[in-house]
Structure 1
Amino acid sequence: MALLVIGAQGAIRRLVDHDNAGLLSWLPGGFAASITVYVLAVVIGAVVAGWAHDARKAAAD
């Protein structure tokens, strides 16, 4: 869930203020590279959070 939140917050910040790279300011490649990594973090975070929710639900049954 933390990866989802950090990725979403970073992507929104990057879209609103192109000069503020946030946590990925060290990453070469500029805007395209950093927005790609942030979106990838959102996708991975959503998949892992969904998997964890399903696993928890199955364990409760």
Structure 2
Amino acid sequence: MGNDSDTRVEPLRKPRKCPECGRPSTRENYPFCSDRCRQIDLSRWLTGSYAIPVAEDESKPGGEEQ
């Protein structure tokens, strides 16, 4: 083909801050900066550290409307 030094490859996504440490993300580990930060996040999901809060309405027994 041609000289690859003239070719610029645009990233598929713009770098974002890593949700774990704040460094710029990498293409291989997006949205994280490294495999270490990706594994830390996965571990938190698997151990239940991340949870979606649930608000239950105590006025309705069994959570059903009557």
Q: TM-score normalised to the size of structure 2?
A: 0.27
Q: Relative contact order (alpha carbons < 8 A, sep ≥ 6): 1 or 2 greater?
A: 1
TM-score, normalised via structure 1 length = 0.29
